[in-house]
Amino acid sequence: MPHTRQAGPDTVESLLAAAAGVLAESYGSYDTAAARDRLAGDTYEESGAAYPAAPRPGAPAPTAYPSAHDEATHELDLACALVVNAAAAADSLARLVNDHRIDPEGALVFACLLHITGRAEAADFWWRFGAGGGSRTAAYCLYLSHRRHGEFRDAAYWRTQAAHDPEEEPPPPTACDGRQLLPDAARHALLVQWHSGLAPTLPAVLENVINRLTVADDDEDFGEIPHPSPTLVDDLGQ
């Protein structure tokens, strides 16, 4: 029997759906459906080759951007803002620093924090970590990251990984304890900045938390790689 694709807890589509209410309440003119279609149905093109996602009936045409770089940057900023706004973000990150196993969702969240604070190469490192553990959202972030740098062959590879259906059903979402990763004002500001066409940023006090993290020796491919501390979730929440 053919495998039926389901939107698991780590998909960009499910994150957008979960955030739809917040976006609709904050911005009456924000078209959440169009953003979801751009993320889920984005197409990579090079020399006439296309790698589209499954078509969505009635999907609107993508919003015009000056360049593929601008489009990918804008969508990557949105994806990161939604990831750190997700209800499970704090618990996912806590598992990354406290569990004795790879936690792909925690790596995804940490990478998005690094992206928001301007650490692009380190974000790519942790997205790879998450994608290697099975996070399709992390793979999609890598697709957008490579696309914004004009690295289209790498982008095509990660787009394929993001669209790949796992052979096994995804595990059920882990129960959340209700805490948020970031204070309410900071989470709301990320979406306000994105909606205004600005790159989302954290308040200085929260960015300083990231600045104080231990940095591993320079990686040959990714440079300096911050590592999450055992108190990172508490430090950000305060």
Domain ranges of the chain: 12-237
Nearest to 210 by CA among 115, 114, 130: 114
CA quadruple 154, 155, 158, 164: dihedral, nearest 10: -130
Confidence tier at 220 by pLDDT (50, 70, 90): low
Residue 43 or 96, more confident:
96
**pLDDT confidence of residue 42:** 42
pLDDT tens column, 65-114: 778 888 889 889 998 998 998 888 999 999 998 766 668 999 999 999 99
Prediction pTM value:
0.74
pLDDT tens column, 56-66: 334 444 456 77
**pLDDT confidence of residue 16:** 52
**pLDDT confidence of residue 47:** 30
pLDDT tens column, 150-187: 999 999 999 888 887 665 544 544 555 668 999 999 99
pLDDT tens column, 185-212: 999 999 889 888 899 999 999 999 999 9
Nearest to 113 by CA among 176, 38, 203, 222: 203
Write the CB contacts of 127 (distance below 8 Å, at least 6 apart in sequence): 107, 108, 111, 138, 139, 141, 142, 145
pLDDT tens column, 2-23: 333 333 443 445 555 544 444 4
The rounded distance, in Å, linking the Cα atoms of 141 and 223 is: 19
Under DSSP, the state recorded for 150 is: T
**pLDDT confidence of residue 100:** 63
